[in-house]
Structure 1
């Protein structure tokens, strides 16, 4: 992982690392700094940044922890896309790698975004199981039963890392910072779809508000950015449906309306077909 000539690959290739830097203590605004490294097999963007920090500039700031795509700490923009630095191979990015902090967030320093708003929005949707039997919630006498089949209704959305890549990709978040955002809204559905939960009406006060779920334009950029395949865009659409018809485990699916006679193509089905699943 060294950024020195001793770490040179067999073909002597170099990769240019361009980082947009920001230090609030210096008050100089954003600036770009460039280094050259010799990539090693398996080197990730995070490895490259660590090499730069160790061998070139110890003041370079970025956030990391697990180095294996689990904690979500190292989210940043890499060649124009929000990615986890530890999950992104340098060799797949070309001879120039441009790195900056996640957009739609304040920047603390260099590549470190301020995730306070992400966590604040997450807390706002009450991301926990809510039950009406408050006494049982406070002092449970039994397990809240759930079958493996029940779990399949929401487990996809439980893989969220809170890495904030989806918020960085979201065009609505870019234009309307008060928008709850795909991370929080997908988690609102995750808990509302849980068969042990009875809290959709409580969450509706937040998610069905002015900057809530119906502010989503369904660009789908959040799902494209998600490193875990959570598909927040799908969760948002399912949350809209749950607000209109009730959570899937509490109500039967609404009847699919028939197309009016004048809207049918010859030989076409008279029933509106649902879209194909995204995963």
Structure 2
């Protein structure tokens, strides 16, 4: 079995890179990759961070960077490290075959085979649905990611998106006046992430939601001062537990999920380090 590090560098969410790289990998027998996703790379200092990681864990680099001011230093840096660096528009399969010294076993459509990864995604979707909006806590430690947030911070759609990537995601609502289940404080396996949003934007979204439900009207649920206090309390709770916080005000679901995937990657590495220490 050949094992190697695969760095995926993108100025967007990295979804295309992820799909294409996996479609290429299945063309090789007995090859497995440890993926390192680098999404939303848009500044030179981020390229430096990527190159430092590549130096620490040398492997194969694939990128989609439209800006030449970013792609050029990435290619130059990889060249100095003697690391292959390929633009996604180049013949990725050929370059990967040369790097691995492996014969290509081309099988059109092979990436769609109902393999273990496919069933893992199905199981992850089922897990997300069963653990949506705090429905179940007894097996929450089996999750890969647990999201916390006040109402309308995109917890559910983010969990479903992650599930489609094979990540077992659960979400727990933070409701004013209700105690957060103590089980959350004793989780040892999942990455716990707090979601937050600008109170003004949150109020507007909640008002739109109430209008769709035919329940428009003033209430604490859409009162700006009350909502601001609600968001502040939630953020303090995250900080007290030293959990990462993502402001989703100006982020798409894909961007939020990409950030979580990057945090999860580091979280898993830390868990492995603790296991082997």
- In which range does the TM-score fall when normalised by the shorter chain? under 0.3
Q: Kindly name which structure, 1 or 2, has the bigger radius of gyration based on alpha carbons.
A: 1
Q: TM-score, normalised by structure 2?
A: 0.25
Structure number having the greater helix percentage: 2
Structure number having the greater strand percentage: 2
Q: TM-score, normalised by structure 1?
A: 0.24
